[in-house]
Structure 1
Amino acid sequence: MSESLPRRLPRGRHALSRDELERIQRARLCAAMAEVMAEKGYVATSVADVLARSGVSRQTFYQVFDSKLDCFMTAFEFAADLLMQRLLEMVGTDEIGALAPEVANDPLRRFELTFTAYLEALAAELPYTRLFLIEVYAAGSAAVQRRSRLQGTITTVLADLLGVTDEAGRFTCQTIVAATSAMVTNAAAENDVAALRAVGPPLIDHVRTLWKAGAFGGQAAPSSR
């Protein structure tokens, strides 16, 4: 599992508060949902499968979630938060601050650093990546709409990284996000971490080519690199 959580809590009295206990159970169930779905897919995954993988009782499951879909949607949000946490760890303030000013102030270098870290985050959390990218389509329209909104957020982050300020540039960012999603989804579907990481270099080069061609609209002057 992605978090260092015990499979079962100790019997008898313990020092955990009710809120902390529920947090641990929720995280364990979300991790189990992601792991089982990575193996069986959303449709074939049952609540019983999640219980067997997590070591949580059925009674506890229904105290925390209303249904399998409720558990999935919570796991989806957990996946988004976890991937963002991994990303921030990889491109934390200290690391960016340690870069030379000409690098830290270069939008294309910021993009390269962040995009590479994004792929590493996906590779490090493959069960959640599959949930986030693939199984969401089997979970119904609400899940797909949530993914679509998140894609919009990622587009905004990309535009901010590149200093894009106009609609033409934002549309270019939107197409990059869509293309990236398709490519990493194929790799995740095959559980191919090497292929997932391999998306990085050619896409980064393509973004540089688009930048030099002025495809991002009113961006800053092109990098000299």
Structure 2
Amino acid sequence: MSESLPRRLPRGRHALSRDELERVQRARLCVAMAEVMAEKGYVATSVADVLARSGVSRQTFYQVFDSKLDCFMTAFEFAGDLLMERLLEKVGADENGLLAPDAAGDPVRRFELTFTAYLEALAAELPYTRLFLVEVYAAGSAAVQRRSRLQATITTLLADLMGVTDDAGRFTCQMIVAATSAMVTNAVADNDVAALRAVGPPLIDHVRTLWNAGAFGHQTERSSR
């Protein structure tokens, strides 16, 4: 997991402010939620399980979260932010998510680098990956809707990455994102990192074929040079 927070705070007085203390506790609980759910699934995971894994008291849990679902949704947001941060960094985007004119070379090459980074991010953060790809369906409609919004954000990033500007091209991007989600979810559900990474080469080749066939519609001047 990317979080390296201590399982317990040091005994005695410490220098953390109340806000910083709550931030640490919130992050630790989210890490515990993702880890326990990776082992037991959302339905079988209890608040008591999260407390035991995190070392946080029940009283503190309910000072930070309203419920198990509230903790899950916060962990989900963290997972999405972590993924987007990794992707934007890989493609050379600025703090506003805008790509540099020469970011990562030609459009298909940009896709290859970004998609490889996406798969590596999923593999590196498998508990969080399982949280937003698998367990999200057990968490209810609000969680599924939030996942759909994340997919829409990734679709927009892909369209910008490929330099497509029309509806046909963006629909192609939407299909790629949806197909990718379905393909990687099976591997994540099986905790099979090798199968997760194996999705990359054939999908990248297919995107190259689609690009060469003009399936992305009209492209910007930059991407078609």
Q: Could you tell me which amino acid in structure 1 is paired with residue 39 of structure 2? A: E
Cα-to-partner distance string for 1:71-103 (whole Å, 9 max, x where unaligned): 000000011112223334544569xxxxxx6x8
Alignment correspondent of 1:212 = 212
**Hey, what's the Cα distance between the residues in 1 that align with 2:106 and 2:165?**
16
Alignment correspondent of 1:15 = 15
Alignment correspondent of 2:57 = 57
Alignment correspondent of 1:143 = 143
**Hey, what's the Cα distance between the residues in 1 that align with 2:58 and 2:104?**
50
Matched, 1:177 2:174: no
Pairs within 5 Å for 1:1-80? 1-80=1-80
Is the contact between residue 65 and residue 71 of structure 2 (CA under 8 Å) also seen in structure 1? Answer: yes
Cα-to-partner distance string for 1:122-150 (whole Å, 9 max, x where unaligned): 00000000001010000010000111111
C-alpha RMSD over aligned residues: 2.0
Alignment correspondent of 2:84 = 84
Query: What secondary structure, in the 3-state scheme, does the structure 2 residue paired with 1:104 have?
Result: coil
**Hey, what's the Cα distance between the residues in 2 that align with 1:92 and 1:215?**
25
Q: Structure 2 unaligned runs (5+)?
A: 95-101
**Hey, what's the Cα distance between the residues in 2 that align with 1:106 and 1:152?**
23
**Hey, what's the Cα distance between the residues in 2 that align with 1:90 and 1:174?**
21
Query: What secondary structure, in the 3-state scheme, does the structure 2 residue paired with 1:84 have?
Result: helix
Q: Could you tell me which amino acid in structure 2 is paired with residue 18 of structure 1? A: R
Q: Could you tell me which amino acid in structure 2 is paired with residue 54 of structure 1? A: S
**Hey, what's the Cα distance between the residues in 1 that align with 2:78 and 2:16?**
22
Alignment correspondent of 2:192 = 192
Alignment correspondent of 2:110 = 110
CA positional deviation for 1:117: 0.4
Is the contact between residue 165 and residue 220 of structure 2 (CA under 8 Å) also seen in structure 1? Answer: no
Q: Structure 1 unaligned runs (5+)?
A: 95-100
Is the contact between residue 91 and residue 117 of structure 1 (CA under 8 Å) also seen in structure 2? Answer: no
Q: Measured at CA, do residues 27 and 179 of structure 1 come closer, stay the same or move farther in structure 2, by a change above 3 Å?
A: same
**Hey, what's the Cα distance between the residues in 2 that align with 1:223 and 1:204?**
18
**Hey, what's the Cα distance between the residues in 1 that align with 2:88 and 2:156?**
16
What's the % identity of the aligned pairs?
Answer: 89
**Hey, what's the Cα distance between the residues in 2 that align with 1:4 and 1:91?**
26
Is the contact between residue 30 and residue 74 of structure 2 (CA under 8 Å) also seen in structure 1? Answer: yes
Q: Could you tell me which amino acid in structure 2 is paired with residue 117 of structure 1? A: A
Q: Could you tell me which amino acid in structure 2 is paired with residue 214 of structure 1? A: G
The answer to which of 47-56 and 1-10 deviates more is 1-10
Q: Measured at CA, do residues 68 and 135 of structure 1 come closer, stay the same or move farther in structure 2, by a change above 3 Å?
A: same
Is the contact between residue 91 and residue 104 of structure 2 (CA under 8 Å) also seen in structure 1? Answer: no
